[in-house]
Amino acid sequence: MEVKEIMSFVEENLRKLYTNREPKGLYEPISYVLSVGGKRIRPTFVLLSNQMFGGDKLEVLRPALGIEVFHNFTLVHDDIMDRADKRRGRETIHVKWNESTAILSGDAMLSEAYELMCSAKPELLPSLLALFSKTVREVYEGQQFDMDFESRTDVSPSEYMSMIRLKTAVLLAGALKVGAILAGASEKDADLIYEYGIGIGLAFQIKDDLLDVYGDTAKFGKNIGGDILCNKKTFLLTTALTTADAESKAELLKWINAENPNPAEKIKAVTGIFTRLGIDKAAEAEMKRQYDYALKSLSEISVDSPEKQTFANIAKDLLYRED
């Protein structure tokens, strides 16, 4: 299947998961959150990787949906923690229903993710579940590090990279490896497609950090400077705080500690400091390094199939995306 076909295949089957289940108070919010959409990149990765290694889409479908349900579970609980009212333009569960519903429905989604994983062939369950459990644990650890970083101003770029590796990259990588394991790929190939996922996951996040500051509002879809306003520890800010001269650092800290600064002024000033220090160039270089790592890992995979080129194209689109 082509990527677009895979995406519709995922979408169609995802919508069937939660129809007419009781009690409604538990399952309707889940159905709602899964219908909000999104790119379905993770389950698509499971299926595409599986296809690359010669797997059967029907055997990998439910674990692929499990990865997407897990991802959406993290969004439901993260949105409570972040007090986010909207997600993809629609009200979040704790707003549309209430917080108890968001907690419990999220819990049920996490369990459903495990249940979907468990539909794999029995002989593959131990390695599959070991991978999934490790991935899940790492995602929580990433989320906790991210929360810990909020109250710190001494986060190093390498700590930041470790955090986003856990919070973001391992799930993309894990999705790819799930597809590989279920297709019976060799351990080496499964590890290589995992590393491709880590590389593009990290590159993706740095790109996101860059777009938040240097992006085009119309294309990016979010307001520019959101990260700057809430002092988010991004690749840009952690690099700036670590490498800046004393004067620039003091200026940055002044803006970070300012109470009720004028938003436009703060964004302009901090962006100016970043540019003056060459932080944009440093971020682009790091992004390129991760991109190269992803492509190198991909090229070392022992199979020769068209999906390899598809993965290379995905990486390229990611690096040069404007939104």
Residue ranges binding its own copies (CB under 8 A)? 22-23, 25-26, 77, 80-81, 99-100, 103-104, 106-108, 110-112, 114-115, 118, 122-123, 125-126, 129-130, 133, 136-137, 140-141, 143-145, 147-148
Name the minimum Å distance from CB 107 to its own copies.
6
* CA–CA distance, 6 with 4 (Å, rounded to integer): 5
User: To the nearest 10°, the Cα dihedral for 237, 242, 248, 251?
Assistant: 60
Name the minimum Å distance from CB 303 to its own copies.
27
Half-sphere exposure of 209 (CA within 13 A, CB side): 29
Name which of 121 and 288 has its Cβ closer to its own copies.
121
- What is the phi-psi region of residue 195: left when phi exceeds 0, alpha when psi lies from -120 to 50, beta otherwise? alpha
Name the minimum Å distance from CB 133 to its own copies.
4
Name which of 52 and 102 has its Cβ closer to its own copies.
102
Name the minimum Å distance from CB 264 to its own copies.
30
Name which of 134 and 281 has its Cβ closer to its own copies.
134
In this structure, are residues 237 and 277 in contact, taking their beta carbons and an 8 Å threshold? no
Name the minimum Å distance from CB 128 to its own copies.
10
Rg, Å, the chain Cα set? 20
Name the minimum Å distance from CB 257 to its own copies.
22
Half-sphere exposure of 151 (CA within 13 A, CB side): 4
In this structure, are residues 178 and 51 in contact, taking their beta carbons and an 8 Å threshold? no
Name which of 112 and 212 has its Cβ closer to its own copies.
112
In 3D space, the residue among 76, 74, 56, 64 whose CA is nearest the CA of residue 17 turns out to be: 64
**Partners of 90 in the β-ladder:** 87
Name which of 81 and 285 has its Cβ closer to its own copies.
81
Name which of 100 and 305 has its Cβ closer to its own copies.
100
Name which of 97 and 220 has its Cβ closer to its own copies.
97
Name the minimum Å distance from CB 62 to its own copies.
13
Name which of 65 and 211 has its Cβ closer to its own copies.
65
Name the minimum Å distance from CB 84 to its own copies.
12
